[in-house]
Structure 1
Amino acid sequence: MNRFRISVFIFVLFVSGFLIYLYWGLPTGIKSSKPFTSNILGQEESCMTCHAEMTGFAPSHNPQVIGCTPCHLGNPNEDDKDLSHQNMVLVPGNLSNADQTCGTVNCHHELLNRIENSLMNTMSGAVTVNRFFFGDSEVLSAHANVRELTNDIPSDDHFRH
């Protein structure tokens, strides 16, 4: 009797999963069977001629919708690999280049300042505690930025090493 219940349970689970798949489908990336060029904001891009096998894009980052160069820069009109990849940004989400890629007016500009000044990016808490511990600051509520460390105080020197 227990084997029968287990078999029924597995069957119901399988059928339920299959019905959910049929109803909602699985998330799919873009996988083009043939190369295409995209015309984004009136600019032709040849990126997908070579990169047609790229998959897994979110709908908001679909290269058929927004292209490649708004995020990755580069030279979209070049057919030569080296020329097309000049000034390309491989990972446009890095903070070191976000002001040229994701943080532009046409994209996520409203988030750039917030992220650049976040505790995770400035390490304000770590710098402030370090300065307080070394006696270089009398308060723990000061706002600091790891990019503004100096060579003038022992705590900043300690933080670098």
Structure 2
Amino acid sequence: MEFRGVIFVSFLIFQLGVNSNAFPVNDLISKLPGQPDVNFRQFAGYIDVDDNVVGRSLFYYFVEAEKDPLTQPLTVWLTGGPGCSSVGDAFGSVGPFIVTKDAHGLQTNFISWNKVSNLLFIDSPIGSGWSYSNIISDYSNGDDSTSKIIVYILHY
């Protein structure tokens, strides 16, 4: 299986720090709706995972560590599974924000892992969260096909 569009992720794995300047400028999030002010950057977009198929893409959300992101480690979060979204955990458990009780905004998550690590959430397998494919058979997946895609991305 051939993959493309993962160059911007590969630099995360093979460096001591994370240089988020290498993320596509178009993926930079200036501010989410209802988000409090923050002192870190965040990016979201798609990782195209096949040169031969237009529209086979995994959705990602990347959050810099709050302090000195270039020297902090990278945590890759893969919840995944039918109906599950890794990105959902960014707003309900380990990410920098949690949804307010009235569900009309975001508030700071005081126990967010981005206090000590850069965070990369990837919706996997194809079909979970906002990840998708234009090929119906891609939705019949499991741990084997998902691990092949993720391992390739992380070792590209």
Is the structural similarity TM-score above 0.5? no
Q: When you count helix as a share of all residues, which structure comes out higher?
A: 1
TM-score (norm 2): 0.24
TM-score by length of 1: 0.23
Q: Which of the pair has more CA radius of gyration? A: 1
Relative contact order, higher structure (CA 8 A, sep 6+): 2
